[in-house]
Amino acid sequence: MSTEHRIRSGRVHLVEIPVTETHSHGSGDVDVVKTVILELTTESGLTGWGEASPWPVFTGTPEATIGALTNYFLPMVVGRDPSQVEVLLAEADKAVVHCPEAKAALETALLDITGRALGVPIHDLLGGCHRDQVPLSFSIANPDFDEDFGKAERLVADGVGIFKLKTGFRDHAFDIMRVEKLRAAFDDTVDLRIDYNQGMTAHDALPRLRDFENFRLTFIEQPVPRDNLEAMAHFTQALTTPVMADESVFNPREALVGAERRIADIFSLKIMKSGGMRRALEVAAIARAAGIGVYGGCMFETGIAHAAGAQLMAALPALDLGCEFYMSSYYLREDILAEPFPVQAGQVHIPKAPGLGVEVDRDRLAKYTVESVPAG
């Protein structure tokens, strides 16, 4: 692009937003969303937004993310053409190992600027729009199941048809009881899944997983720790219910190994694992070549990262199992987007305006910012 759109400066905001209820997982509880917002400004006055949402038990820490962005990536991109996305990402990969969330934020802000400058949405920069909407999955993760059950009833009335239960944070009987109650209440009008977030030990997992075989679950997600590929492959082979890999597959290399060893029937795609939308498309290409399905996952994030994820979902040639961009609509006390993230009748509607397709409310961003670091 022309030199007027070169990057002039950047700013990194550490944001903390209270949530509507505790979310429990096989790998720990979440009571507040801590996320990192990246703001890039061009010489021409355009602003591009990106988000890194690190979770220390899953992807990384906010401290490492902020360090990667302020000390390495921002000095690298100032003065550069934001449309050179792959060139800049390759430099980021060489400069800092890991930190995929920081790379996702960088890529999102670069693509946001490029899309705004060219007047096209990000999915057009990724190859085009395969779908206008994606079915939304809501996660049942409240330790108080009565509260969750009431919420599920309200969400079904709203048109939400997919529920993913977080399992493995209490006992097996609690997990079975919740699936049983939801299946009995909604019969086959809802699509049910479960996600252990690595919460099982391999030696006693299989009999417990077999207890779910009669509930017509769409998938069982990441029962055991990410490195136990042998157990993941064994469950995939032994169970009728499809198995999904989340923590076991971050990036294209892990997708290749996962496909070769058949550790799952489905991979969960997340920009915070792959290091952005382009790398997630690479994971999806490997999955597709191997006959493995894909699903649109998210982390604990605001509507900015949701919008990036939705742009990726639009650009995927195949998307089998919906997406889970429900945080902004149902979990955060308040989002930092100017308009609500577009969820209607249980569907995420792909934003079509230039760039990310969403705007940030600067007053609310300031309200929830606990630390702001200028750079460049």
What backbone torsions phi and psi does residue 72 show, to the nearest 5 degrees?
Answer: -120, -55
Smaller CB separation from Mg ion, 195 or 282: 195
- Token pair of 358 as six digits: 């969403």
Q: How far is the CB of 319 from Mg ion (least distance, A)?
A: 17
- The span of 90-98, 147-155, 187-195, 257-265 binding Mg ion (CB under 5 A) equals 187-195
Residue 247: strand, helix, or coil? coil
Smaller CB separation from Mg ion, 66 or 245: 245
Cα distance between residue 292 and residue 289, in whole Å: 8
- The span of 190-198, 204-212, 279-287, 311-319 binding Mg ion (CB under 5 A) equals 190-198
- The span of 56-64, 128-136, 240-248, 350-358 binding Mg ion (CB under 5 A) equals 240-248
CA distances from 268 to 129, 159, 208 (A): 20, 23, 22
Smaller CB separation from Mg ion, 70 or 222: 222
Q: How far is the CB of 297 from Mg ion (least distance, A)?
A: 6
Residue from 246, 254, 324, 335 that binds Mg ion (CB under 5 A)? Answer: 246
Q: Are 114 and 46 in contact (CB under 8 A)?
A: no
Smaller CB separation from Mg ion, 102 or 245: 245
Beta strands in 157-313 (DSSP E): 162-166, 191-195, 220-221, 243-245, 266-269, 293-296
- The span of 129-137, 183-191, 195-203, 281-289 binding Mg ion (CB under 5 A) equals 195-203
Residue from 112, 175, 195, 335 that binds Mg ion (CB under 5 A)? Answer: 195
Q: Are 14 and 371 in contact (CB under 8 A)?
A: yes
- Token pair of 290 as six digits: 């191997």
**Binding to Mg ion by residue 301, rule CB under 5 A?**
no
Q: How far is the CB of 167 from Mg ion (least distance, A)?
A: 11
- The span of 20-28, 49-57, 242-250, 280-288 binding Mg ion (CB under 5 A) equals 242-250
Smaller CB separation from Mg ion, 25 or 103: 25
CA distances from 252 to 164, 228, 236, 292 (A): 25, 18, 20, 14
Which among 114, 134, 136, 132 has a CA at the least distance from the CA of 352? 132
Residues in touch with Mg ion (CB under 5 A): 195, 246
